[in-house]
Amino acid sequence: MYKEAMRPAWVEISLDNLEHNVKQIIEKVGSAEKITGVIKADAYGHGAVKITEVLRKCGIKTFATATLAEAVKLRECGAREEIIVLGLIPNMYADIVAEYGLTVVCCDSENARAFSDAAEAMQKRAAAQQPVPNCLSAQDAFSGARPISALIAVDTGMGRIGYLADDPDTAIADIKKMLALPNFRITGLFSHMSTADEADKTFSREQERKYNAFYGALKNAGIAIPLRTLANSASVTELPSVNFDLVRPGIILYGCYPSGEVDRSLIDLRPVMSVRANIVHLKDVPEGFSVSYGRSFIAKRPSKIATIELGYSDGYPRPYSKHAKVIVNGKLAPIAGNICMDQCMIDVTDVPGVKLGDEVIIMGSDGTLTISADDIAAATGTINYEILCAFGQRLPKVYL
């Protein structure tokens, strides 16, 4: 039990495994400076501030979040590197982008104008020597002393954001309006792969073709694109032709493969997160005794039932109840009944010598037995990404 966790359930984060994974990615792409550390969703539940510290030590100089609030938090915690906000930012928040010196993703000239105007307003404040609210004390490198940097988004097949790749003429006309803005600077071209984690790379190759064609159309129109970024985790693993100038690994940083179809022999990953708890209650029950909501577990023999303080509000999915097993003292033990909001029960009848306080591995390994995020995801019809993010939201984190 970790006293600093203030509860007998916690997430353990192996920083050694994180560094190992980063080194593996560097070997794939050639340089740490080609890597954008994707730390959205609180670094997939691993804790963005601490993960950023480790990635920085590994030589990574660019980070990416999904939301503006995530990026602001990193700035306020001391991050001085470039931070790309991968989601579109509405005009009403343009002043925050300027204050914190963030890189945006953009596909609309009116949105770009809002950013340019916000940067100009910041410059006027600076010229008048007025304090800029909400910024870091050492804000000169980030505030409106410089234009807003932006990656142009092109939709090559994800269907989420961006100009349509098949209609470059419309995009070029709008991008030229951006080029006329005094405080808006296009620094790169952004798109996202939708099926790179599948064994069949046909559509991924089509996305690559569309991306290159769109890039070529911009160049032919006299629009300079200093940097290209397309590759996600699966692309880094299996599609080196789309690495370009900057790659955006996410799930592989944290030691999970993007899917079961990715060739795992191409990169050696180590899980960064494990989930553990201590037994807080233990009792012997007779045959016929029922456990949890709905009485879905009824003892078929005299049994020993243990309780841990971890439930679906901590990321342990309730649909997993019928399939779930945990590791207790070197033995697999099934969950007894439905997982509750904040607790769940375990049938430890076959675990010899079990006692109060014994450690339970919900996700992780004891060196012999392993329960992975993939195992939990497969049993609940979801993906390992969701499992990591969910566990990381409420459980306290212990960094090793």
- pLDDT value of position 123: 84
Whether 371 has a pLDDT exceeding 60, the answer reads: yes
Task: Give the orientation angle of helix 202-220 with respect to helix 168-179, to 10 degrees.
Answer: 50
- pLDDT value of position 135: 47
- pLDDT value of position 146: 82
From 40, 210, 325, 397, active-site residue: 40
Q: How confident is the model at residue 139 (pLDDT cuts 50, 70, 90)?
A: very low
Q: Of the given ranges (2-11, 30-39, 89-98, 323-332), which has the lowest mean pLDDT?
A: 2-11
- Looking at the domain covering 273-399, what would its CATH class be? mainly beta
Q: Are 330 and 353 in contact (CB under 8 A)?
A: no
From 57, 219, 283, 293, active-site residue: 293
Alpha-carbon gap, residue 103 to 248, rounded angstroms:
15
Which fold would CATH assign to domain 31-261? TIM Barrel (3.20.20)
3-state secondary structure 23-36: HHHHHHHCCHHHEE
Q: Which pLDDT tens digit goes with each residue over 230-266?
A: 999 999 999 999 999 999 999 999 999 999 999 999 9
Q: How confident is the model at residue 114 (pLDDT cuts 50, 70, 90)?
A: very high
Closest to 377 in 3D by CA, of 273, 260, 266: 260
Whether 218 has a pLDDT exceeding 60, the answer reads: yes
Q: Please state the pTM of the whole predicted model.
A: 0.91
Which helix (H) or strand (E) is 383 found in, with range?
A: none
- pLDDT value of position 101: 95
Active site residue 355: no
List the structure tokens of 310.
């971890």
Compute the average pLDDT of residues 12-26.
97
Q: How confident is the model at residue 141 (pLDDT cuts 50, 70, 90)?
A: very low
Alpha-carbon gap, residue 129 to 144, rounded angstroms:
12
Compute the average pLDDT of residues 11-37.
96
Instruction: Tell me, yes or no, if the two domains 31-261 and 273-399 fold the same way.
Output: no
Q: Are 34 and 227 in contact (CB under 8 A)?
A: no
Q: How confident is the model at residue 137 (pLDDT cuts 50, 70, 90)?
A: very low
Alpha-carbon gap, residue 129 to 142, rounded angstroms:
16
Compute the average pLDDT of residues 202-206.
97
- pLDDT value of position 3: 61
Q: How confident is the model at residue 132 (pLDDT cuts 50, 70, 90)?
A: low
More confident residue, 133 or 296: 296
Active site residue 40: yes
Q: What type of residue is 215?
A: Y
Alpha helix (H) ranges present in the chain? 15-29, 40-44, 48-57, 68-76, 94-100, 109-127, 168-179, 202-220, 233-238, 373-380, 384-394
- pLDDT value of position 6: 77
Alpha-carbon gap, residue 122 to 135, rounded angstroms:
12
**Percent of the chain scoring above 70 in pLDDT:** 95
Q: Of the given ranges (92-96, 136-140, 321-325), which has the lowest mean pLDDT?
A: 136-140
Closest to 148 in 3D by CA, of 71, 33, 50: 71
Compute the average pLDDT of residues 71-87.
96
Q: What type of residue is 35?
A: I
Q: Which residue reads 């985790």 in tokens?
A: 233
Average pLDDT of the chain to the nearest whole number: 93
Alpha-carbon gap, residue 36 to 55, rounded angstroms:
10
Q: Which pLDDT tens digit goes with each residue over 145-175?
A: 589 999 999 999 999 999 999 999 999 999 9
- pLDDT value of position 122: 87
Q: How confident is the model at residue 110 (pLDDT cuts 50, 70, 90)?
A: very high
The total of other beta-carbon atoms located within 10 Å of residue 1's CB is 13
Q: Of the given ranges (100-109, 126-135, 372-381), which has the lowest mean pLDDT?
A: 126-135
Q: Are 102 and 135 in contact (CB under 8 A)?
A: no
Q: Of the given ranges (6-20, 116-130, 292-306), which has the lowest mean pLDDT?
A: 116-130
* In the chain, domain spans: 31-261, 273-399
